[in-house]
Amino acid sequence: MSALALRDAVAEYGTIRVLGPLSLTLAVGEHVALVGKSGAGKSTLLSVMFDRWRDRGPALMPQDLGLVPTLSVFHNVYMGGLSRHHGWYNLVTLARPFRRDVHAIMPLLEHLDIADKCWTPVGELSGGERQRVAAARAIHQGGNLLLADEPVSALDGPLAEQLMAALTTAYPTAVLAMHDVELALRFTDRVVGIADGCIALDEPSLRLSAQDLLPLY
Protein backbone atom coordinates (compact mmCIF):
# COMPACT_ATOMS: atom_id res chain seq x y z
CA MET A 1 0.00 0.00 0.00
CA SER A 2 1.35 3.41 -0.96
CA ALA A 3 1.00 6.57 1.12
CA LEU A 4 -2.51 7.96 1.60
CA ALA A 5 -3.15 11.62 0.93
CA LEU A 6 -5.92 14.18 1.29
CA ARG A 7 -5.54 17.40 -0.65
CA ASP A 8 -7.66 20.43 0.24
CA ALA A 9 -10.41 18.23 1.67
CA VAL A 10 -13.63 20.05 2.53
CA ALA A 11 -16.89 18.93 4.13
CA GLU A 12 -20.08 20.95 4.39
CA TYR A 13 -23.47 20.44 5.99
CA GLY A 14 -25.83 22.48 3.90
CA THR A 15 -24.19 25.88 3.57
CA ILE A 16 -22.03 25.47 6.67
CA ARG A 17 -18.43 24.36 6.23
CA VAL A 18 -17.44 21.98 9.03
CA LEU A 19 -14.09 20.76 7.74
CA GLY A 20 -11.20 22.19 5.81
CA PRO A 21 -9.77 22.99 3.49
CA LEU A 22 -7.40 20.43 4.95
CA SER A 23 -4.43 18.48 3.57
CA LEU A 24 -2.92 15.44 5.22
CA THR A 25 -0.63 12.60 4.18
CA LEU A 26 -0.57 9.29 6.00
CA ALA A 27 2.48 7.07 5.57
CA VAL A 28 2.19 3.31 5.43
CA GLY A 29 2.84 1.86 8.88
CA GLU A 30 1.70 4.95 10.79
CA HIS A 31 -0.75 4.87 13.68
CA VAL A 32 -2.26 8.35 13.90
CA ALA A 33 -4.45 9.76 16.68
CA LEU A 34 -6.97 12.50 15.89
CA VAL A 35 -7.56 14.57 19.02
CA GLY A 36 -9.68 17.59 19.82
CA LYS A 37 -12.89 18.54 21.57
CA SER A 38 -16.30 17.21 20.55
CA GLY A 39 -17.52 18.91 17.39
CA ALA A 40 -14.02 19.84 16.24
CA GLY A 41 -14.35 17.76 13.07
CA LYS A 42 -12.67 14.43 13.93
CA SER A 43 -15.60 12.22 12.95
CA THR A 44 -16.16 14.22 9.77
CA LEU A 45 -12.49 13.83 8.84
CA LEU A 46 -12.70 10.06 9.34
CA SER A 47 -15.77 9.98 7.10
CA VAL A 48 -13.93 11.92 4.39
CA MET A 49 -10.97 9.53 4.68
CA PHE A 50 -13.28 6.54 4.33
CA ASP A 51 -14.87 7.99 1.18
CA ARG A 52 -11.59 9.09 -0.41
CA TRP A 53 -9.70 5.90 0.42
CA ARG A 54 -12.51 3.42 -0.18
CA ASP A 55 -10.48 1.70 -2.91
CA ARG A 56 -7.93 0.72 -0.24
CA GLY A 57 -10.57 -1.38 1.51
CA PRO A 58 -10.40 0.31 4.92
CA ALA A 59 -12.00 -1.24 7.98
CA LEU A 60 -14.31 1.25 9.67
CA MET A 61 -15.22 1.25 13.36
CA PRO A 62 -17.79 4.06 13.63
CA GLN A 63 -18.69 5.78 16.87
CA ASP A 64 -22.21 4.29 16.77
CA LEU A 65 -20.53 0.86 16.21
CA GLY A 66 -22.98 -0.24 13.48
CA LEU A 67 -23.87 -3.54 15.17
CA VAL A 68 -27.08 -5.53 14.65
CA PRO A 69 -28.69 -5.79 18.11
CA THR A 70 -30.78 -8.88 17.35
CA LEU A 71 -27.84 -10.93 16.08
CA SER A 72 -25.36 -12.75 18.30
CA VAL A 73 -21.84 -11.60 19.06
CA PHE A 74 -20.55 -14.33 16.73
CA HIS A 75 -22.71 -13.19 13.81
CA ASN A 76 -21.80 -9.52 14.27
CA VAL A 77 -18.10 -10.38 14.22
CA TYR A 78 -18.60 -12.75 11.27
CA MET A 79 -20.05 -9.83 9.29
CA GLY A 80 -16.57 -8.36 9.11
CA GLY A 81 -15.66 -11.16 6.71
CA LEU A 82 -18.84 -11.32 4.61
CA SER A 83 -16.99 -10.41 1.42
CA ARG A 84 -14.78 -13.49 1.73
CA HIS A 85 -17.70 -15.86 1.11
CA HIS A 86 -20.48 -16.48 -1.41
CA GLY A 87 -23.97 -15.23 -0.60
CA TRP A 88 -25.33 -18.74 -0.03
CA TYR A 89 -22.56 -19.44 2.48
CA ASN A 90 -23.42 -16.31 4.46
CA LEU A 91 -27.11 -17.20 4.47
CA VAL A 92 -26.41 -20.70 5.78
CA THR A 93 -24.12 -19.24 8.45
CA LEU A 94 -26.97 -17.05 9.68
CA ALA A 95 -28.90 -20.19 10.65
CA ARG A 96 -26.10 -22.67 11.35
CA PRO A 97 -22.52 -21.39 11.55
CA PHE A 98 -19.79 -23.56 10.09
CA ARG A 99 -17.35 -25.01 12.60
CA ARG A 100 -14.34 -23.51 10.86
CA ASP A 101 -15.74 -19.98 11.25
CA VAL A 102 -16.48 -20.53 14.92
CA HIS A 103 -12.93 -21.81 15.37
CA ALA A 104 -11.58 -18.73 13.57
CA ILE A 105 -13.59 -16.19 15.58
CA MET A 106 -13.54 -17.75 19.05
CA PRO A 107 -9.82 -17.01 19.76
CA LEU A 108 -10.46 -13.36 18.92
CA LEU A 109 -13.38 -13.23 21.36
CA GLU A 110 -11.23 -14.93 23.99
CA HIS A 111 -8.48 -12.36 23.48
CA LEU A 112 -10.97 -9.55 24.07
CA ASP A 113 -12.60 -11.33 27.05
CA ILE A 114 -16.04 -11.74 25.47
CA ALA A 115 -15.95 -15.43 24.48
CA ASP A 116 -18.64 -16.19 27.08
CA LYS A 117 -20.98 -13.86 25.14
CA CYS A 118 -20.43 -15.58 21.78
CA TRP A 119 -24.09 -16.56 21.25
CA THR A 120 -25.64 -13.65 23.17
CA PRO A 121 -27.61 -11.06 21.15
CA VAL A 122 -25.59 -7.87 21.00
CA GLY A 123 -28.59 -5.87 22.20
CA GLU A 124 -28.23 -7.53 25.61
CA LEU A 125 -24.62 -6.42 26.11
CA SER A 126 -23.17 -3.47 28.00
CA GLY A 127 -21.66 -0.53 26.14
CA GLY A 128 -18.12 -1.75 26.79
CA GLU A 129 -18.95 -5.24 25.59
CA ARG A 130 -20.53 -3.90 22.40
CA GLN A 131 -17.42 -1.83 21.78
CA ARG A 132 -15.28 -4.96 22.02
CA VAL A 133 -17.61 -6.74 19.58
CA ALA A 134 -17.21 -3.91 17.08
CA ALA A 135 -13.44 -4.08 17.50
CA ALA A 136 -13.48 -7.84 16.99
CA ARG A 137 -15.49 -7.36 13.79
CA ALA A 138 -12.96 -4.81 12.51
CA ILE A 139 -10.07 -7.13 13.32
CA HIS A 140 -11.84 -10.08 11.69
CA GLN A 141 -12.31 -8.00 8.54
CA GLY A 142 -8.56 -7.70 8.14
CA GLY A 143 -6.66 -5.49 5.75
CA ASN A 144 -4.06 -2.78 5.93
CA LEU A 145 -6.00 0.29 7.06
CA LEU A 146 -8.25 0.92 10.06
CA LEU A 147 -10.35 4.04 10.64
CA ALA A 148 -11.80 4.05 14.15
CA ASP A 149 -13.94 6.68 15.87
CA GLU A 150 -13.56 6.65 19.67
CA PRO A 151 -12.81 2.88 19.77
CA VAL A 152 -12.38 2.74 23.57
CA SER A 153 -14.76 5.46 24.79
CA ALA A 154 -16.84 2.96 26.83
CA LEU A 155 -13.81 1.27 28.40
CA ASP A 156 -11.16 2.26 30.89
CA GLY A 157 -8.08 0.88 32.59
CA PRO A 158 -6.69 -2.48 31.41
CA LEU A 159 -9.61 -3.19 29.06
CA ALA A 160 -9.03 0.04 27.14
CA GLU A 161 -5.33 -0.70 26.88
CA GLN A 162 -6.03 -4.28 25.80
CA LEU A 163 -8.36 -3.12 23.04
CA MET A 164 -5.99 -0.41 21.81
CA ALA A 165 -3.17 -2.94 21.67
CA ALA A 166 -5.34 -5.42 19.74
CA LEU A 167 -6.41 -2.84 17.15
CA THR A 168 -2.98 -1.32 16.57
CA THR A 169 -1.39 -4.77 16.36
CA ALA A 170 -3.99 -6.01 13.86
CA TYR A 171 -3.66 -3.02 11.52
CA PRO A 172 -0.26 -1.74 10.34
CA THR A 173 -1.82 1.61 9.42
CA ALA A 174 -4.58 3.27 11.41
CA VAL A 175 -6.28 6.56 12.15
CA LEU A 176 -8.07 6.67 15.49
CA ALA A 177 -10.17 9.58 16.75
CA MET A 178 -9.70 9.72 20.51
CA HIS A 179 -10.52 11.78 23.60
CA ASP A 180 -8.17 9.89 25.93
CA VAL A 181 -4.93 11.70 25.17
CA GLU A 182 -2.83 9.44 27.42
CA LEU A 183 -3.85 6.39 25.41
CA ALA A 184 -3.41 8.33 22.17
CA LEU A 185 0.17 9.17 23.07
CA ARG A 186 0.96 5.62 24.17
CA PHE A 187 -0.49 3.71 21.24
CA THR A 188 0.12 5.95 18.23
CA ASP A 189 3.17 7.32 16.43
CA ARG A 190 1.67 10.67 15.52
CA VAL A 191 -0.94 13.05 16.86
CA VAL A 192 -3.03 15.33 14.66
CA GLY A 193 -4.99 17.94 16.60
CA ILE A 194 -8.24 19.17 15.06
CA ALA A 195 -9.81 22.52 15.95
CA ASP A 196 -12.69 24.18 14.12
CA GLY A 197 -12.36 21.72 11.25
CA CYS A 198 -8.70 22.43 10.60
CA ILE A 199 -5.35 20.96 11.64
CA ALA A 200 -4.07 22.83 14.69
CA LEU A 201 -1.24 20.44 15.56
CA ASP A 202 0.65 17.65 13.79
CA GLU A 203 3.56 16.12 15.70
CA PRO A 204 5.18 12.76 16.48
CA SER A 205 3.72 11.35 19.70
CA LEU A 206 7.16 11.09 21.30
CA ARG A 207 7.54 14.88 21.19
CA LEU A 208 4.28 15.52 23.02
CA SER A 209 2.86 15.28 26.50
CA ALA A 210 -0.76 15.30 27.62
CA GLN A 211 -0.23 18.87 28.74
CA ASP A 212 0.67 19.89 25.19
CA LEU A 213 -2.75 18.73 24.01
CA LEU A 214 -4.86 20.54 26.61
CA PRO A 215 -5.30 23.71 24.46
CA LEU A 216 -7.25 21.58 21.96
CA TYR A 217 -9.95 20.90 24.56
pLDDT in tens, 1-36: 678 999 999 999 888 899 989 999 999 999 999 999
Query: How does the average pLDDT of the chain come out, rounded?
Result: 95
CA distance 56 to 50: 9
Average pLDDT over residues 122-130: 97
Residue-wise pLDDT for 33-72, tens only, equals 999 999 999 999 999 999 999 999 999 999 999 999 999 9
4-13 and 16-26 as β-strands: parallel, antiparallel, unpaired?
A: antiparallel
Architecture of the CATH domain 1-57+145-152+173-208: 3-Layer(aba) Sandwich (3.40)
Question: CA angle 87-149-4, nearest 5°?
Answer: 80
Residue ranges covered by each domain of the chain: 1-57+145-152+173-208, 67-142
Cα 58 to Cα 2, 27, 81, 115, distances in angstroms: 14, 15, 13, 26
Residues 6+ apart with CB under 8 A from 115: 106, 109
With a pLDDT cut of 90, the percent of the chain lying above it is 94
What is the pTM for the complete model shown? Answer: 0.92
pLDDT band at 93 (very low <50, low <70, confident <90, very high): very high
